[in-house]
Amino acid sequence: MGEHVMFCVNCGNRLANSMKYCPKCGEKIANENIESSFSDEKIEEVGLFDNDPVTYSFREKIKKETLEAYLNETKVIRSGLYTKGKLYGITDDIIDDIVADCEKRIILFEEYLYSLYMDGSFLMYDVTDEIKSEIGEYAGKYGFGHVDGERIYEKFVKDHKLRSKNALLLTMLISYQQTGILDDAKIKEEDPETIKFKAKGYLRFKNAVQELKELQSTLHEVSGSIDISDDDRNELYEKGMLLGFQEKTLIDACIQGNEISLGYHGKKMLREQKILRQKNQNYFSKIVRKKTMRLLDREVVFDSCYFIEEYTFSFFEEQFEWLNHQMVQKIKSITENSIDEENFALGLSMHMMQGAATWLQYVEEYCNQIGLPDELLDNIKSFFAEDYRAFGNDLKELRYLFDEIDSDVEQTKLNGELKKAFRGKWVIGGVGIQGMINSAVTGAVLNAGTGLAYDAMNKISTAMSKRNAIQAKKELVYAVIDMMTDYFGMLQQNVPTVILVMIMQEKPYSVSAKYSCGFLNPQVLSII
């Protein structure tokens, strides 16, 4: 009997039997370390004149053809072997014995693989290059070379659909990690192999999860804590490896699912949320102080988180109304003397840059007033700067319409260009920060933009039909002004919402819960 293969219970590193400490993590090696099913004991092979190189070569040829027939799921063509055997004085019976012996060894090797995956070490039906290499090496015990052992293993993996079973179990484990529920309905009984898997392989996995869960529950009860200590986690790792989990990450996933199922995850969330609430609910008290009110003969304290929304909307409403007024006046001033492409393009570009700078000043002023961290301020400025830049680029594209008006282009082309410009990428609603604004806002603003485009097209069309290019250009300028007014109205409505959501993500409970954007679980909210 050769040396056994063992694994460290702390880091999963492969160990030799003689080791007292793990060379990777330094863990002391105890008897509980997991002993692999791999063994160096070799099964004696049927001999055929081993000292005769010619007959030995012929025996290897018989083994090779037997193996190829197995891998290709065909029968061994013995007639050719019988004919060649007569040249060496080898009877048909001996050839039959060698074929039968090789087939027996394949069956024994398959049974060994079956024991590993269906009853032994690989609970999750793991299929990796490392496992494949180790099994290929171990195939020598059955008289097969490394490469042939790997080929037999690959056929076994394919025949038993190990990769798909592994993927299914991993999917179920991830789902369990997130929900604490094992959903048997995910396994669709479509063929006999799947039915057999559900009755045995999946059941073994399910029982292993349950065993870990029972141990986890006991450890919580003994410690009296809702947390898992390092010693408890190590004990769970050891148990998980004994049950057939090959990696700590898989055991961690199971532990997290058990925490949800046992209710400890929810308790920890409530504890963490209580700490965050106490820390952040008056984060903006320097700007908006908490208030005490009398309700039903009781004094109720409302923290600053309930009043920062009103302050934010009021701040940006005032600023955007002023900025919109300034921008409209500047655009009108571009066309006071003459309307031409160059004048319009340069003036519009310059004023958009000035407007962007003013806008960012507003955002920075607001963030400084309420005391936001520099990192969050940078995120907010970056988000709105990109949005404003996109809007400015769309406006600048309108200058090309001036040339088209002068060239008296076809009305359909002009309409298409104008409509395209009015449906640019400048709408905040539904985009950015993982779509935190309701998509209905996007639809409403886009519809408004489309309506503006149609109105402008009708006016320009009327002017062009009268061969009045100057009036058509004026109508285009009016359309730009209408679009800018619509745009700033959209900003006034949505910018405060976006900022409040970003604040809530960074400082939970500092803003009204309706801006949580999924931070709080609805079930937890109902408990609170």
> DSSP letters along 468-525, please?
-HHHHHHHHHHHHHHHHHHHHHHHHHHHHHHHHHHHHHHSTTSS-GGG-TTSS-HHHH
What is the mean pLDDT of the segment spanning 454-469?
A: 58
| Least confident stretch, 60-69, 154-163, 212-221, 336-345 | 336-345
Helix (H) or strand (E) holding 355: helix 341-370
Helix (H) or strand (E) holding 294: strand 291-295
CA distance 408 to 416: 15
523 CB-near residues (< 8 Å, 6+ apart) = 266
CA distances from 286 to 253, 305, 307, 370, 487 (A): 43, 12, 12, 7, 32
DSSP state of 303: -
Query: Using an 8 Å Cβ cutoff, are 492 and 484 in contact?
Result: no
Would you state the pLDDT for residue 459?
Answer: 59
Token look-up 């809007």 returns 391
Would you state the pLDDT for residue 31?
Answer: 44
Would you state the pLDDT for residue 254?
Answer: 96
What is the mean pLDDT of the segment spanning 283-300?
A: 76
CA distance 177 to 30: 30
What is the mean pLDDT of the segment spanning 237-242?
A: 92
What is the mean pLDDT of the segment spanning 391-399?
A: 63
* Residue 191: Cβ-neighbour burial (10 angstroms; 0-12, 13-18, 19+): exposed
Phi, psi of 488 (to 5 degrees): -70, -30
What is the mean pLDDT of the segment spanning 112-125?
A: 84
- pLDDT of residue 281 exceeding 70, the answer is yes
Tokens for 506?
């960074």
Would you state the pLDDT for residue 367?
Answer: 85
Would you state the pLDDT for residue 209?
Answer: 95
Q: Over the chain, what is the mean pLDDT?
A: 75
Name the CA radius of gyration of the chain, rounded: 37
What's the first-to-final CA gap in the chain, in angstroms? 63
CA distance 298 to 443: 45
CA distance 226 to 59: 65
* Cβ-based neighbour number of residue 116 at 10 Å: 20
Helices (H), 244-340: 248-262, 264-280, 308-334
Q: Is the dihedral of CA 203, 208, 213, 215 positive or negative?
A: positive
Our CA dihedral for 176, 182, 183, 186, rounded to 10 degrees, sits at 70
125 CB-near residues (< 8 Å, 6+ apart) = 117, 162, 163, 165, 166, 169, 201
Would you state the pLDDT for residue 519?
Answer: 39
Q: CA nearest 279: which of 308, 305, 300, 306?
A: 305
Q: Starting at the edge strand that comes first in sequence, how are the strands of the sheet with 14-16 ordered?
A: 14-16, 5-7, 34-35
| Least confident stretch, 58-67, 201-210, 468-477 | 468-477
| Least confident stretch, 4-8, 54-58, 365-369, 405-409 | 4-8
- pLDDT of residue 140 exceeding 80, the answer is yes
Give per-residue pLDDT as tens, 418-442: 555 554 444 444 333 334 333 333 4
- pLDDT of residue 462 exceeding 70, the answer is no
Would you state the pLDDT for residue 417?
Answer: 59
Token look-up 């996109």 returns 390
- pLDDT of residue 277 exceeding 90, the answer is no
